[in-house]
Chain A
Amino acid sequence: MSIRHSSRRRWLVTADAGTRPDAGPAAAHVVLESVGKTFRRSGRRTVALSGINLQVAPGELVCLLGPSGCGKSTLLRIVAGALASDQGSVRVGGRPAGGPAPDRGMLFQSPMLFPWLTTRQNVLFGPKAQRSAGIHQRDDPELDAEADAILATVGLAQFSDAFPHELSGGMQHRAAFARAMVTRPSLLLMDEPFGALDAITRIRMHDFLLSMWERYRITIIFVTHDIEEAVLLGDRVAVMGGKPPGIREILDVPLGRPRHAADVDTERFLAVKRRIRASLTR
Chain B
Amino acid sequence: MSGWHSAPLSGTAVIEEGAQASLGAADHGPLDERADLLAHRRARRRARTRRVVTGLGGLVALVLLWQVAAMILSDQVALPSVIQTGSQFAHYLTRPYPAQGKPLWFDLYISLRRILFGFVIGVAIGVAAGAAMSASRVIRHLVDPVIEVIRPLPPLAFIPLFIVWLGIGELPKEVLIIVGVIPVMAITTVAALDEVPEDLRLCARTLGATRGYTLAHVQIRSALPGILTGMRIAMAGAWSSIVAVELLAATSGLGFLIMQAGDYLDTALVFAGIITIALAGLVLDGCLRGLLIVADPSRRG
Distance of A11 Cα from B245 Cα, bound (Å): 64
Question: How many residues of B are in contact with the other chain, CB < 8 A?
Answer: 47
**Closest Cβ neighbor of B207 among chain A residues:** A126
* Contact A1 B21, beta carbon cutoff 8 Å: yes
B17/A168 in contact, CB under 8 A: yes
Pick from A3, A116, A168: contact of B297, CB under 8 Å? A116
B8 contacts A168, C-beta separation under 8 Å: yes
| CB pair A116 B18 closer than 8 Å | no
B102 adjacent to chain A (CB < 8 Å): no
Known: A159-B37, A168-B8, A171-B15. A179 touches B207 (CB 8 A): yes
- Contact of B205 with A100 in the complex, beta carbons under 8 Å: yes
Find the A residue at minimum CB distance from B21.
A1
Nearest-neighbor residue (CB-CB) of A185 within chain B: B206
Asked if B14 lies at the interface with its beta carbon under 8 angstroms from chain A, I say yes
Q: Mark A1-40, 1 if CB is under 8 A from B, else 0.
A: 1111001101000000000000000000000000000000
Chain A residue at minimal CB-CB distance from B1: A115
9-residue interface stretch from A87-95, A127-135, A218-226, A263-271? A127-135
At the interface, yes or no: B5 with Cβ under 8 Å from chain A? yes
Q: Which residue of A100, A133, A167 contacts B8 across the interface (Cβ within 8 Å)?
A: A167
Q: Are A116 and B296 in contact (CB under 8 A)?
A: yes
B208 and A159 form a contact (CB under 8 A): no
Please report the C-alpha to C-alpha distance between residue A204 and residue B298 in the assembled complex, in whole angstroms.
Answer: 26
- Interchain CA distance A112-B199 in the complex, whole Å: 8
- Taking CB atoms and an 8 Å cut-off, the chain B residues in 193-225 that contact chain A are 197, 199-200, 202-210, 213, 217-218, 221-222, 224
Q: Give how many A-B residue pairs fall within 8 Å (CB-CB).
A: 142
Which residues of the other chain, A, contact B15 by a CB distance below 8 angstroms? Answer: 159, 166-168, 171
Chain B residues with CB under 8 A of A163: 297-298
Within 8 A of A (CB), among B25-47: 25, 27-28, 30-31, 33-34, 37, 40
Q: Which of A99, A112, A162, A169 contacts B203 (CB 8 A)?
A: A112
Question: Cα distance A111–B8 when bound, in Å?
Answer: 12
A168 contact from B16, B203, B206, Cβ within 8 A: B16
Say whether A104 faces chain B, with CB atoms less than 8 Å apart: yes
Interface pair A183/B208, CB less than 8 Å apart: yes
Which single residue of chain A is at the shortest CB-CB distance from B34? Answer: A158
Is there contact, CB below 8 Å, between A3 and B20?
A: yes
A4 near B205 with CB under 8 A, answer: no
Q: How many angstroms from the CA of A101 to the CA of B207 in the assembled complex? A: 7
Contact A167 B13 (CB under 8 A): yes
- Residue interface bits A134-158, CB-to-B below 8 A is 1, else 0: 0100000000000000000000001
Given the interface pairs A115-B6, A168-B13, A204-B17, the reply to whether A105 lies near B213 with Cβ below 8 Å is no
One of B7, B27, B197 near A169 (C-beta < 8 A): B7
Q: Do A2 and B25 have beta carbons less than 8 Å apart?
A: yes
Residues of A within 8 A of B4 (CB): 115, 165
In the assembled complex, the Cα of A108 lies from the Cα of B197 at a distance in Å of 12
A125-B112 Cα distance, complex, nearest whole Å: 40
Which residues of chain A come closer than 8 Å to B296, judged between CB atoms?
A: 115-116
Q: Which of chain A's residues have a CB closer than 8 A to the CB of B13?
A: 166-168
A65: Cβ under 8 A from any B Cβ: no
B297 near A106: Cβ-Cβ < 8 Å: no
B8:A10 contact, CB within 8 angstroms: no
Tell me whether B19 is interfacial, beta carbon within 8 Å. Answer: yes
Q: CB-CB < 8 A to A104: which residues of B? A: 206
Chain B residues within 8 Å of A113, by CB: 6
Contact of A7 among B20, B202, B205 (CB under 8 A): B20
A114 within 8 Å of B by Cβ? Answer: yes
Q: Complex: how many Å from CA A167 to CA B9?
A: 10
The listed residue with most A CB atoms (<10 A of its CB), out of B34, B203, B210, is B203
Across the interface, which residues of B come within 8 angstroms of A234, CB to CB? none
Which residues of the partner chain A approach B297 to less than 8 Å between Cβ atoms? Answer: 115-116, 163, 165
**Which A54-85 residues have a C-beta within 8 angstroms of B?**
77, 80, 82
Residues from chain B with a CB closer than 8 A to the CB of A110 are: 197, 199
- B5, B19, B203: the one contacting A106 at CB < 8 Å is B203
B124 located at the interface, meaning its Cβ lies under 8 Å from any Cβ of chain A in the complex: no
A6 vs chain B, min Cβ distance (A): 9
B-side residues, CB < 8 A to A, are 1, 4-8, 12-21, 25, 27-28, 30-31, 33-34, 37, 40, 197, 199-200, 202-210, 213, 217-218, 221-222, 224, 295-298
Other contacts beyond A101-B205, A130-B209: 6, CB < 8 A: A10-B18, A115-B297, A125-B204, A129-B204, A129-B217, A158-B31
A-B contact pairs, 21 of them (CB 8 A): A4-B27, A4-B28, A7-B18, A7-B28, A10-B30, A80-B202, A82-B205, A100-B206, A101-B206, A105-B206, A111-B6, A112-B200, A129-B210, A129-B213, A132-B213, A133-B209, A158-B37, A165-B5, A167-B13, A170-B17, A172-B6
Report the 7 A-B pairs with minimum CB-CB distance, sorted nearest first.
Answer: A126-B207, A100-B205, A102-B208, A129-B209, A158-B34, A130-B208, A165-B298
